[in-house]
Structure 1
Amino acid sequence: MSRIQVTWVVKTRTGQVKGPYSTEAILRMIGEGVFSGQEMISKLPDGQWTLISKEAAFYDKLLEALEGIVEVDPKKAQKMEAETVIVHPPPQQKPKDSLPSLESFANIKIEKSKQKVDVYDVPQNVQPASIPIANVKSESVIDLSNIKNMEKGELFKNLRLPAFVLVIVILAAVFLLWEQGPSDGTKIHLLAPKKSTSTMSEEQVKVKLNEAIFSIEQDTFESYLEAQNKLVTIIEGSGMNLEVRGLLCVVYKELWPFAVQDAQDIKTIVTMTQSTRALNVISPFGQVCETVKLMTSGRFKEAKGVIEATLESNEPFSLLPVLYDFKAELLRGEHDYTNAIPYYEKASQLWDKWLNPLVSLAAVSYETGDFNTASSILKNVLAKNPRHREAKILAGIIDYRGFKKSDTAYSYLSTALEAKGRVAALTLADGYSCLAEIYLLRGEKGKALEAAQSGFDLNPNNSELRQLVIRLGGNDKVKGEKGKNNELLYLGDQYIRQGDYLAAQAEFKAAFEVDPKNGTAAMKAAKALWQLNQSFEAIEWLNKAIKAEPKLVSAYVLQADYMSQRFDFIGALTILTNATRIAPNNYEVLRGLSMLEFRKNNMPGAINYALRSVKAYDGDIEAFILLSKANGILARSIMPINKKEIERKENAAKDAIRYATKAVEIDATNPEAQITYAKMLAQTNGVDSGINYLNELIKRFSYTLDYRIALAEIYKSEDRFTQSKEIYEKVVESDPKNKKAWLGLGESEKALGLNDKALKAFLNAAILDPTDGEALFQAGKLYLETSRFDEAIQQFKRVQRLNPKYPRTHYYIGKAAFSSGDFTTALEASKMEKKLNPNVADSYILAAEVYTARKQYAECAAEYSQAMKLRPQGAEIYVKSATCYRQSGSMDVAEDMLALASARESGYAEIYREQGAIYELRGDNRSAATAYNKYLGLSPNALDRAEIEMKILRLGGN
């Protein structure tokens, strides 16, 4: 999209064209009596001729002039007219074969004069600035009437009038075509700042910023488009201004319903957010951009958290009313009108010239039945901006449906619906619906059908409009038009806010069917399907998103995330590799690779990718959360057997809490960040510190269940199952569809020996998500632990049918078979598990146990040796390995294994029983008796105590 230059040309009633002028120059000339308001005006280069009196930027000044407030200086007006005629066709004739070249327009005389502009310095406080009328002392004028001063001026000496008219017609056609883009429903692309080529002065920034703020205050699509261009120009010339960046994000948010919403638009918002937060990660202006990014991506819960965290800081800044407006919008989306209204009121009080919160407040007042308040607000809006098309439509709807004033409603609606300017399709549809009903009251069925059909085409989901169209004999078939897919996306987003994922996915699918090239629609459908536990279909819709928009990086990352959750690590890596080719060093892709390694249990790899992600974008809270989790797991896995390992463990623990703290600093209302911080506190400072922290969060954020589940998980990890069970029971009572809570409840009940209740909880979780094998897997483990081996094997096979890549199913089938004495099946199952998950030690340990039972000790030792490479930290595996080596006759190796076990856990009793057996075989009875005594000392209740005591007596010990 080309940037609009904010300059104007004016056409008098006699057809004379003047200019170009800046906005300030027009205002000054109105004040000095040059223009009366009856002239036509057009914006360069993409304007359309309209009356000056209908241009919002000049309306107030014209009123002042008409009321006699300004002084008119006829001499000054005459002088200005003489200087500013831009077209004066020469009388000379020109040969027929000669046409004007573009070069002939390139060299024009520009009269440079110093300008003195009184501007309003935008304050860094609560209330944003408004643009007062600039007092311009002198204006630069482009003079095209002095043609003889042009380079190669001879080209114009013979210019014919018809040729000139042809040029004007061509230019006018270009302007009209340009204007039709946004006006006829064609979607736009958000404009991203480019690399700076020149630096703007502080004075230029102030002037341009005031112009942008004025445009934002007018609250129309066209005015936001103007504001976008001005703000982008400022950023390109003065990129460090955080307030300007925040304002541009606000404009992106308001233009989003009219945007294509493809990979390019998503990238524009993400890049602006990333670059703004890179300047100052804790700046509230960056938080505004973060909120816009989250809201436009449909992550309303996270957006609400960012807003609340920023509002809690009590730090005054100029865009504070914007956050109040955003908060109100989110509450309105949840149908919480009671709480939404005060936030809209606060936003409009803090920024009284911004019409957006006023219009929204009027809409909410209407929705709650307060017609008087709604009507009063809209009259105020229209007094400030008579061209506010949405306000006119709402006023007409309220007059008709609220007060039954069909005549005034018709006046509002007929003029508003015929006017130009972009408005949300759903608002237009409601307006047409009211207008159709008014026509019916008047007995004009033909016009009623036309209006009803127009409304239905805009909103096919409106059942009342459908019925009206059918009753009037119209066509109720939905027309597929690309321009309307965003309205379907909007409806889908509304359903997402309400938690109705079934209805949301239907809207998103419909939007994609309307426009098969809109990858965003397919991606949103996938998100909704995933929430409905339809994981296969969700992944397939992400394939459609990627095919529709190959550069939609978010779709690649999301698909890899879903695939890795289903343990398809190879597929996820392939997807992320493809994304890397499209967007090298993209922080989302790097974070996706980190998550993949995390789920593969490769913590060093996860940390490496997450650090690279943070380097690319240090405001990525999800990367910091991953860094904290990975370091926490790494710290727990390191056995401090020497100084180096002790240092590694301590550093990992410090990094875990450090990164968790950073995540909370970025967004204190992000549940995952807070939960990670609480768990790191429990790990480093003691479990009670984590529990106390979570209890405080539960008091502050009582509306979310995430903190309660996290508290239950901490209790469960500390074997405090009674307390975890109580919390899980309260959660499932509050939210019966919470799969995570049902699983946690089942695990807690199983640990307490409540096996029947545990099985019921697992089966409830399985019903909620039939495509996920986790609940059935847990049920299978329960059968295994209660010695119901055949039933356990059946459950694990059901999991394999659901997801052949689900880890450890073959291992547990092998364990169940081994426990039932079926060594052949057990060994075969261990081989299958090795093939699927070669880096998991459990399958090697199972094979070793099978070989031990078969008395194949050499094979047993080899399996344990392989397992130790994968899981070197525990003493138990070394002792079992020593046993196999001893029984295979390799005494020296067996002793080495025991030495390694003792270095890791010298208090592990089994070390000394095995040591006694080795000494006994070597004939060292005294040492054997000493080792056996130490075993009994460390394990006084050992099951084989009587047998060991007999050995000690036989060896001559006490």
Structure 2
Amino acid sequence: MSRIQVTWVVKTKTGQVKGPYSTEAILRMIGEGVFSGQEMISKLPDGQWTLISKETAFYDKLLEALEGVVEVDPKKAHKMEAETVIMRPPPSPSRNTQNTNTEAKPKLPSFENLGSSQPQNGKFPAIDLYQAPAQVAPATIPIPNVSSNESKDSVIELSNLKNMEKGEMLSAMRGPIVILLVVALVGFFLLWDTGPAKGDKIHLLAPGKASAPLSETQVRDKLNESLFAIEQDTFDSYLEAQNKLVTIVEGSPTNIEVRALLCMVYRELWPYAKQDAQDVRTIAMVTQATRALNVVSPLGQVCESVKLLTSGRYREARGTVEGILESTEPFSLLPVLYGYKAELLEGEKDLVNAVPYYEKAIQLWDKWLHPQVQLANLYYEQQKFSDASRILQDVLKRNPKHREAKLLLGVVEYRGFKKSDTAFTLLSAAVDSKVRVPPLSEAQGLHALAEIYVFRNEKKKALEFAQRAFSLNPNNNDLRQLVVRLGGSDKVKNDKSQNNELLFLGDQYVRQGDFLAAQAEFKAAFEMDPKSGTAAMKAAKCLWQLNQSFEAIEWLGKAMRAEPKLVSAYVLQADYMSQRYDFAGAMAALTNATRIAPNNYEVLRGLALMEFRKNNMGGAVNYATRAVKVYDGDIETFILLSKANGVLAQSIMPLNKKEIERKENAAKDAVRYATKAVEIDATNPEAQITYAKTLAATNGVDSGITYLNELIKRFSYTLDYRVALAEVYKSEDRYTQARDIYEKVVEVDPRNKKAWLGLGESSKAIGLNDKALKAFLQAAVLDPTDGEALFQAGKLYFETGRFEEAIQQFRRVQRLNPNYPRTNYYIGKAAFSSGDLNGAMEATKAEKRLNPNLADSYILAAEIFTTRRQYQECAGEYSQAMKLRPQGAEIYVKAAQCYRQSGSLDVAEDMLALAAARESGYADIYREQGAIYETKGDARSAATAYNKYIGLSPNAPDRAEIEARIGRLGN
């Protein structure tokens, strides 16, 4: 079979596009030293640009050339040129790529003697200025080596064919010249622009397997070039930095500082990325590998912050960032975290407090333009136009190609200073640029330019730019009105290229807590690009926050169908399903995820969480332990391990040495894992709450309460710690104190469902049934799809003797969620208490079918059989209940009673022995023991047992009856 010929085009560092070349031609030129490996390469006709060193076809040859294996023969370079078609004119002599820049190269930022990380009166304490890296020119293409006896003229420039003899050129290219010229023209139009085409989304570049080790000099040089690119703060420069940093990571895998810098670059490229399963996996993989090097390093926490920010978990991201900033130890990427803190505050519309954090970031790394542009935008929003203009002019002096700064400066000149001519010049130049910028920034500039055209009475141009701006920001009512006024349509076309803009807008709304608006943006993004699983998953998260659980689960299904390898969607759907007690559905989702990623820590953690909610603590610990072995930096797994071990410790009955040891080990593990979680991230609310509750369980409740009070002082902006404190009080039956806290929480946050439920439970415990019912119903209004509040209301009706109303509430819960546990059990209890034994038994059978491992339904069935005097059936039900979970002395006494009345006296005595082993002071043991002896005819032993019963329970309601029995026995 004939082989298809692959052709390539090459883009040099100066932007020249050359080719097309065959694979063999490029290999020969690499061998001659013509290409250094830093050029970009693309397949024709529709390939994407990538570093030539990243193409597997050329990697080995480049490595040989770098190691000096290949001998250089300049004569062959002439032959290489015979295959070349120039696709772009060479640069002018004034921009000769052979010029070198002798300026000092930058070093990775480092800082000393940093002040407090918290602003005081809107300002930070003064500190030593950061010595920012000096700028360096980008690396040039190396000149091929020549022997000393050859003249300078023998060096061949790839961009120059004029010196070649016509005869040689025609003989070499007579046949394919027409085809090559056509391909060249196609390549010219396809690949003229640098980087991806405008609007095209990129994939984040993940490091591959470790390559040949880089020397310290190579690492330093590439790192310097990366830092310079980052400082320029443009899409293209971040793309360049990403490529270089990935190369360093592959050549120096243990360099945690470079890995953290790569995570930071991912964050800047995220708005332009496809944000699909592959990009999510790239960030997760780099984060996991970075934290595995040092789980408590702040550099690893930088990657964790990026992972949280890009996944829309802004609340957790803020906690992580603040935790690092509170550290007294300075480190190189501290200015990046100050920038993140400022962005988070800005997203929450806290502009005043965001300013000093941007100022701190600029102070620590004054060559990095990103925080300067962000601060200028903040000043513009605060109408501090002079400050904004000053910063933006300085940015453009440092990087005249910074399109975002140029757009914003034009807006400031127009709206702030009313200089329409100056603004027009700036905005026109910015609009003509092909540099990618965030959609809202571009929309803002286009909006101002459209208004200027209106002022100039050029309505056609005004409409063109207004519509472009509106397509980027369709939620801007001013833009909508401008488009309509100019005769345009306010209907946004479904264009896949706008998908990222809608995702960006949705993320903005999430930051502000407006989940209703956010889910609309994410849904619109998915409609434009039905293959965007990320958009569907983000919509699902917002819907869950809006208590629309059915729709949330449905949208996760759409996410999985759109991107079958989006593991996070499977895990999240399982999480939501298990919260609704749909364990079969959760297991199906996790099984599918396991097929995609067999040993993924997120999937293993999802399995552990499902087992935890099923009350299978052993299974939860098993899966979570496996997850930790895969990735020991996942804080959520450690939290789950602590919780599961804590519940396990409480459930173990220490009847023998082995059980005592198991209980002690589980308690120690609960403390150990909670401590580990706090060590990883001391600002994670759930980690801190778990640790506090573990303290309360092991060191006494007051230690836990003291710890939570300290957290409340430190993190006053979150209500989680107050709710946790109320839960600790409630667990210790200190209901009045718990109720006071819950009341304050719902006063501040009336939509806090957890606080309303806690308020209802606390009010019920102290006899305020009307207020408890009101709290439960308020919680039900907040989340009409969740049955918990109605279930609690039903229990309140049952406990106050309103059995019919209780049954109605439990039926309502079943209509909302047929999988909700214990509803049939409580229907059975209510029916049993009202005398409806048949209805009670039917409900008990239904509960057994739904939850066969729930011991309570078997106990209720035993009570029903006792009432019916079916003692043998009663004994069987109690035996089954005891198999399902460890029981106290009471159930063994009741089982003994059924065995005695069914004639199995020996088994009854065994039951009492088990009861005494658990609680020897339980009085009812001896009353039943007396009845057994009395049945056997042992009057003396019966009287002794009855007397012990009265001694242990002198105020027993049946004392008179027992004393009469003793009298009849003659003792």
- Tell me, yes or no, whether TM beats 0.5: yes
Alpha-carbon distance change, 451 to 790 in structure 1, aligned in 2, over 3 angstroms: same
The residue aligned with 2:201 is 187
SS at match of 2:13: strand
Aligned: 1:927 with 2:923:
no
Aligned: 1:661 with 2:664:
no
Q: Is the 8 A contact 2:600 2:627 kept in 1?
A: yes
In the TM superposition, 1:684-703 aligns within 5 A as 684-703=698-717
1:494 Cα deviation from its structure 2 partner: 1.1
Alpha-carbon distance change, 589 to 748 in structure 1, aligned in 2, over 3 angstroms: same
How far apart in 2 are the matches of 1:119 and 1:786? 78
SS at match of 2:196: helix
Alpha-carbon distance change, 602 to 123 in structure 1, aligned in 2, over 3 angstroms: same
How far apart in 1 are the matches of 2:940 and 2:222? 94
Q: Is the 8 A contact 1:518 1:549 kept in 2?
A: yes
How far apart in 1 are the matches of 2:641 and 2:80? 74
For residues 81-122 of structure 1, the C-alpha deviation after alignment (integer angstroms, 9 at most, x for no partner) is xx9999979999xxxxxx899xxxxxxxxxxxxx99975543
- Residue range with higher mean Cα deviation, 858-867 or 452-461: 452-461
Alpha-carbon distance change, 309 to 466 in structure 1, aligned in 2, over 3 angstroms: same
2:777 pairs, out of 747, 757, 763, with: 763
TM-score w.r.t. the length of structure 2 is 0.86
SS at match of 1:45: strand
How far apart in 2 are the matches of 1:454 and 1:716? 57
Alpha-carbon distance change, 205 to 770 in structure 1, aligned in 2, over 3 angstroms: same
1:662 Cα deviation from its structure 2 partner: 0.3
1:211 pairs, out of 195, 206, 225, with: 225
Q: Is the 8 A contact 1:117 1:135 kept in 2?
A: no
The residue aligned with 1:820 is 834
For residues 303-348 of structure 1, the C-alpha deviation after alignment (integer angstroms, 9 at most, x for no partner) is 0000011111121111000000000000000000001000000001
Counterpart amino acid of 1:750?
K
How far apart in 2 are the matches of 1:85 and 1:374? 58
Aligned: 1:141 with 2:144:
yes
For residues 162-191 of structure 1, the C-alpha deviation after alignment (integer angstroms, 9 at most, x for no partner) is 956864774574365246562321100000
Q: How many residues align?
A: 875
How far apart in 2 are the matches of 1:463 and 1:387? 31
1:531 pairs, out of 539, 545, 566, with: 545
Alpha-carbon distance change, 470 to 43 in structure 1, aligned in 2, over 3 angstroms: farther
Q: Is the 8 A contact 2:136 2:225 kept in 1?
A: no
Counterpart amino acid of 1:792?
A
SS at match of 2:248: helix
Alpha-carbon distance change, 793 to 87 in structure 1, aligned in 2, over 3 angstroms: same
How far apart in 2 are the matches of 1:201 and 1:840? 63
1:464 pairs, out of 462, 467, 478, with: 478
Q: Percent identity?
A: 69
Aligned: 1:937 with 2:951:
yes
Aligned: 1:366 with 2:380:
yes
In the TM superposition, 1:716-755 aligns within 5 A as 716-755=730-769
For residues 880-902 of structure 1, the C-alpha deviation after alignment (integer angstroms, 9 at most, x for no partner) is 10000001010000000111111
The residue aligned with 1:419 is 433
1:269 Cα deviation from its structure 2 partner: 0.4
The residue aligned with 2:852 is 838
Q: Is the 8 A contact 1:898 1:911 kept in 2?
A: yes
1:772 pairs, out of 772, 779, 786, with: 786
Q: Is the 8 A contact 2:8 2:41 kept in 1?
A: no
How far apart in 2 are the matches of 1:789 and 1:653? 40
In the TM superposition, 1:386-425 aligns within 5 A as 386-425=400-439
Aligned: 1:235 with 2:246:
no
1:498 Cα deviation from its structure 2 partner: 1.1
How far apart in 2 are the matches of 1:372 and 1:449? 30
Q: Is the 8 A contact 1:257 1:486 kept in 2?
A: yes
Q: Is the 8 A contact 1:119 1:206 kept in 2?
A: no
The residue aligned with 2:395 is 381
The residue aligned with 2:886 is 872
Alpha-carbon distance change, 893 to 177 in structure 1, aligned in 2, over 3 angstroms: same
How far apart in 2 are the matches of 1:174 and 1:932? 101
Alpha-carbon distance change, 686 to 85 in structure 1, aligned in 2, over 3 angstroms: farther
The residue aligned with 1:810 is 824
Aligned: 1:549 with 2:549:
no
- Residue range with higher mean Cα deviation, 664-673 or 873-882: 873-882
The residue aligned with 1:122 is 108
How far apart in 2 are the matches of 1:293 and 1:464? 34
In the TM superposition, 1:164-563 aligns within 5 A as 167=180, 170=183, 173-174=186-187, 176-178=189-191, 182-563=196-577
The residue aligned with 2:598 is 584
SS at match of 1:455: helix
The residue aligned with 2:171 is 158
1:8 pairs, out of 13, 22, 32, with: 13
- Residue range with higher mean Cα deviation, 124-133 or 186-195: 124-133
The residue aligned with 1:863 is 877
How far apart in 1 are the matches of 2:84 and 2:468? 45
1:806 Cα deviation from its structure 2 partner: 0.5
Alpha-carbon distance change, 350 to 172 in structure 1, aligned in 2, over 3 angstroms: farther
Q: Is the 8 A contact 2:526 2:535 kept in 1?
A: yes
Alpha-carbon distance change, 670 to 11 in structure 1, aligned in 2, over 3 angstroms: closer
How far apart in 1 are the matches of 2:399 and 2:182? 32
1:475 Cα deviation from its structure 2 partner: 2.2
How far apart in 2 are the matches of 1:312 and 1:901? 54
For residues 350-392 of structure 1, the C-alpha deviation after alignment (integer angstroms, 9 at most, x for no partner) is 0000000000000000001100000000001000000000000
TM-score w.r.t. the length of structure 1 is 0.87
Q: Is the 8 A contact 1:750 1:782 kept in 2?
A: yes
How far apart in 2 are the matches of 1:670 and 1:137? 47
Counterpart amino acid of 1:757?
K
How far apart in 1 are the matches of 2:946 and 2:81? 122
Q: Is the 8 A contact 1:249 1:289 kept in 2?
A: yes
1:936 Cα deviation from its structure 2 partner: 2.2
Alpha-carbon distance change, 614 to 171 in structure 1, aligned in 2, over 3 angstroms: farther
For residues 822-881 of structure 1, the C-alpha deviation after alignment (integer angstroms, 9 at most, x for no partner) is 111111111110000000100000000000000000000000010110023321111110
How far apart in 1 are the matches of 2:533 and 2:688? 33
2:806 pairs, out of 782, 785, 792, with: 792
Moved over 6 A (4+): 2-6, 19-22, 83-92, 115-118, 134-138, 145-148, 154-157
How far apart in 2 are the matches of 1:410 and 1:451? 13
Alpha-carbon distance change, 171 to 907 in structure 1, aligned in 2, over 3 angstroms: farther
Alpha-carbon distance change, 459 to 489 in structure 1, aligned in 2, over 3 angstroms: same
- Residue range with higher mean Cα deviation, 127-136 or 707-716: 127-136
Aligned: 1:615 with 2:618:
no
Unaligned 5+ segments in structure 1 are 13-18, 27-41, 49-82, 93-98, 102-114, 149-153
Aligned: 1:955 with 2:969:
yes
In the TM superposition, 1:642-653 aligns within 5 A as 642-653=656-667
Aligned: 1:711 with 2:725:
yes
Q: Is the 8 A contact 1:3 1:229 kept in 2?
A: no
Instruction: Give the RMSD, CA atoms, in angstroms.
Output: 3.1
1:666 Cα deviation from its structure 2 partner: 0.6
Q: Is the 8 A contact 1:743 1:762 kept in 2?
A: yes
Aligned: 1:45 with 2:67:
no
1:132 Cα deviation from its structure 2 partner: 4.3
Counterpart amino acid of 1:8?
K
Alpha-carbon distance change, 920 to 520 in structure 1, aligned in 2, over 3 angstroms: same
1:209 Cα deviation from its structure 2 partner: 0.4
Q: Is the 8 A contact 2:926 2:948 kept in 1?
A: yes
For residues 731-787 of structure 1, the C-alpha deviation after alignment (integer angstroms, 9 at most, x for no partner) is 111111111111111111111111111111111011111111111100111111111
How far apart in 2 are the matches of 1:346 and 1:425? 26
Alpha-carbon distance change, 776 to 138 in structure 1, aligned in 2, over 3 angstroms: closer
